[in-house]
Structure 1
């Protein structure tokens, strides 16, 4: 613990030396819906925390709904006295923030690794899954890909407007994959990429996607699953901030336009043993087939994680490369689980179902549990799409059905934790019901 504190203290002091104009640091963590919460600390107080002073925040901050409200979930929130819970600083995450008007820093905090981790904290859920796999001699290598849209900064009666082409001043309303879009929006995209790199994120490929103002950014492969999910979470925060600085809105909303493709979170996962051998490639790739079967078996029960809100289910409507059934295939982007072409060393799955606004810690935890279950059960998967375009199994396409499918699934309760499953399902159920408590203009047009 002493050595750990010394390392953190050195990190804080080095940051202060390199950024003497920074007076405050945002200490942030991701809640269940995937929003950051936390506190803004004077940088001199951060030194005290790094040296071992307690860092406490309300436990129930993790339970916030999409709009920040608290729901009654068991005895949490209203019958537990709203207790504090210990957090710790995540080493290596203290970085400058360059999209605010004043110099600022930010650093991740978490309850995992503390004396009493919060069982339903997303990062803690993933940490437990990774720890269990490590004890079994399984070491994942992970890479995220995130799609997002750029919109004009100003809304039109609450509705998004197409991003303005900075060269022509016209709306970028032509869906395409043209490389010229990267050039036209190079100022904001370059700033997003550089800001991500300043946060320690390994940005690789940038793609202009099919939707108007839609882009995809890929991250490097990591042998640290927690850090990979950290990158995805931090990228969303910095990208939104940089976009506003340039006069745009960046959104990871799953389906902002009904007529255009939605935005997804694609996750590449390979599994290695302690000697660095690819477990999925052994025995003529039989473990790969078992892992795929496990993913597909649990996928219908993980839908509240992969599609975490009402809008995310809109993305699963048969538009470009968005699956409507649990399926797999080699080099097939219509599949939920795609097997990219690769050599045996880099053999992996690409899980393509999750929406871009899903919680990256929970998405990765659910995928890893599916792979783990498949390797243990050793079942054969259904026919791949390459052999049968109709292959696939149904999954829920509405939140309340999805919650019911997840709540009592024994493998998920065992491997993700029963307390987490109960809390998460009730959070999603309450959020969905709260979303329904508003009559929109269309409802009046139809029924008034």
Structure 2
């Protein structure tokens, strides 16, 4: 513990030396809906925390709904006295914030690794899955890909407007994959990439996607699943901030336009043993088939994680490369689970179902549990789409059905934790019901 504190203290002091104009640091963590919460600390107080002073925040901050409200979930929030819970600083995440109007820093905090971790904190859920896999000699290597849209900074009566092409001043309303779009929006994209790199994120490929103003950013592969999910979470925060600085609004909303493709979170996962051998490639890739079968078996029960809100369900079965059933295939982007072409050393799955606004910690935890379950159950998967274009199993396409499918699934309760499953399902159920408590103008047009 002393060595750990010394490392953190050195990190804070080095940061202060390199950024003497920074007076405050945002200590942030991701809640269940995927929003950051936290506190803004004077940098001198951060040194005390790094040296071992307690860092406490309300436990129930993790339970906030999509709009920040609290729901009654068991005894949480209203019958528990709203207790504090210990958090700790995540080493290596203290970085400058360049998109704010004043010099600022930020650093991730978490309850995992404390004496009493919060069972339903997303980062803690993933940490437990990774720890269990490590004890079994399974070491994941992970890479995220995130799609997002750029919009004009100003909304039109609450509706998004197409991003303005900085060269022509016209709306970028032409869906395409043209490389020229990367040039036209080069200033903001370059700033997004550099800002992410300043956060310690390994940005690789940038793609102009099919939707108008839609882009995709790929991250490097990591043998640290927690850090990979940290990157995805931090990238969303910095990208929104950089976009506003350039006069745009960046959104990871799953389906902002009905007529254009939605935005997804694609996750590449390979599994290795302690000697560095690819577990999926062994025995003529039989473990790969087992892992795929496990993913597909649990996928219908993980839909509240992969599609975490009403809008995310709109993305499914829509336009390009959005699956309508739990399926898999080799080099097939219509599949939920795609097997990219690769050599045996790099054999992996690409899980393509999650929406871009899903919680990256929980998405990765759900995928890893599916792979783990498949390797243990050793079942054969359904035929790949390459052999049968109609292959696939149904999954829920409505939040309430999805919550019912998840709540009592025994494998998920065992491997993700029964307390987490109960809390998460109730959070999503109540969030969905709260969303429904508004009469849209269309209802008056149709039924008044």
TM-score bracket for the superposition, by shorter chain length: over 0.9
Give the aligned partner of residue 350 of structure 1. Answer: 350
TM-score (norm 2): 1.00
Q: Is the 8 A contact 2:261 2:318 kept in 1?
A: no
Deviations 1:392-446 (A, max 9, x none): 0000000000000000000000000000000000000000000000001101100
Work out the CA distance in 2 between the residues paired with 1:19 and 1:128: 35
Runs of 4+ aligned structure 1 residues displaced above 3 Å come to none
Name 1:308's counterpart in structure 2.
308
1:192-246 CA distance string (max 9 Å, x none):
0000000000000000000000000000000000000000000000000000000
Maintained 8 Å contact 2:281/2:288 = yes
Residues 150, 214 of structure 2: 8 Å contact kept: yes
> What is the distance in 2 between the residues matched to 1:35 and 1:425?
17
Q: For 1:367 and 1:27, locate their aligned partners in 2 and report how far apart those are by CA, in whole Å.
A: 28
How many residues are matched?
448
Secondary structure of the structure 2 residue equivalent to 1:109: strand
Q: CA deviation at 1:34?
A: 0.1
Q: Secondary structure at the match of 1:295?
A: helix
**Aligned 1:27-426 pairs, distance under 5 A:** 27-426=27-426
TM-superposed deviation, 1:90: 0.0
- Spell out, residue by residue over 1:289-323, the C-alpha distance to the aligned partner (whole angstroms, 9 max, x if none): 00000000000000000000000000002310000
CA distance in 1, matches of 2:267, 2:445: 41
Distance 2:121 2:319 in 1: 33
SS of residue matched to 1:118:
coil
Q: Is contact 2:163-2:248 (8 Å) kept?
A: yes
Q: Which runs of 5+ in 1 are unaligned?
A: none
**1:249-299 deviations in Å (ceiling 9; x for gaps):** 000000000000000000000000000000000000000000000000000
Task: Give the secondary-structure state (helix, strand or coil) at the position aligned to 1:96.
Answer: strand
**2:338 counterpart SS class:** strand
Deviations 1:154-183 (A, max 9, x none): 000000000000000000000000000000
CA offset at residue 130 of structure 1? Answer: 0.0
Please give the per-residue CA displacement for 1:89-137, whole angstroms capped at 9, x wherever unaligned. 0000000000000000000000000000000000000000000000000
Quick one: distance in 2 between partners of 1:169 and 1:101? 26
In the alignment, structure 2 segments of 5+ residues that lack a partner are: none
Q: Distance in 2 between matches of 1:375 and 1:72?
A: 37
TM-score (norm 1): 1.00
Q: Structure 1: how far apart are the matches of 2:128 and 2:404?
A: 24
Once residues 362 and 249 of structure 2 are traced to their aligned partners in structure 1, the CA distance between those partners, rounded to angstroms, is 25
Structure 1 residue 55, shift from structure 2 partner? 0.0
How far, CA to CA, are the matches of 2:210 and 2:336 in structure 1? 19
* CA distance, structure 2, for counterparts of residue 400 and residue 378 of structure 1: 31
- Aligned mates of 2:224, 2:88 — CA distance in 1: 18
What SS does the corresponding residue of 1:204 show, helix, strand or coil?
A: strand
**Helix, strand or coil: the match of 2:417?**
helix
Report the 3-state secondary structure (helix = DSSP H, G, I; strand = E; otherwise coil) of the residue aligned with 1:207. strand
**1:37-87 CA-partner distances (Å, limit 9, x unpaired):** 000000000000000000000000000000000000000000000000000
Q: Cα deviation per residue 1:126-153 (whole Å; 9 max; x = unaligned)?
A: 0000000000000000000000000000
The separation in 2 between residues aligned to 1:318 and 1:443, in whole angstroms, is 23
Q: Distance in 2 between matches of 1:287 and 1:253?
A: 35
Partners in 1 of 2:329 and 2:317 — Cα distance?
A: 19
Task: Report the 3-state secondary structure (helix = DSSP H, G, I; strand = E; otherwise coil) of the residue aligned with 1:250.
Answer: strand
Q: Distance in 2 between matches of 1:429 and 1:183?
A: 43
CA distance in 2, matches of 1:318, 1:44: 51
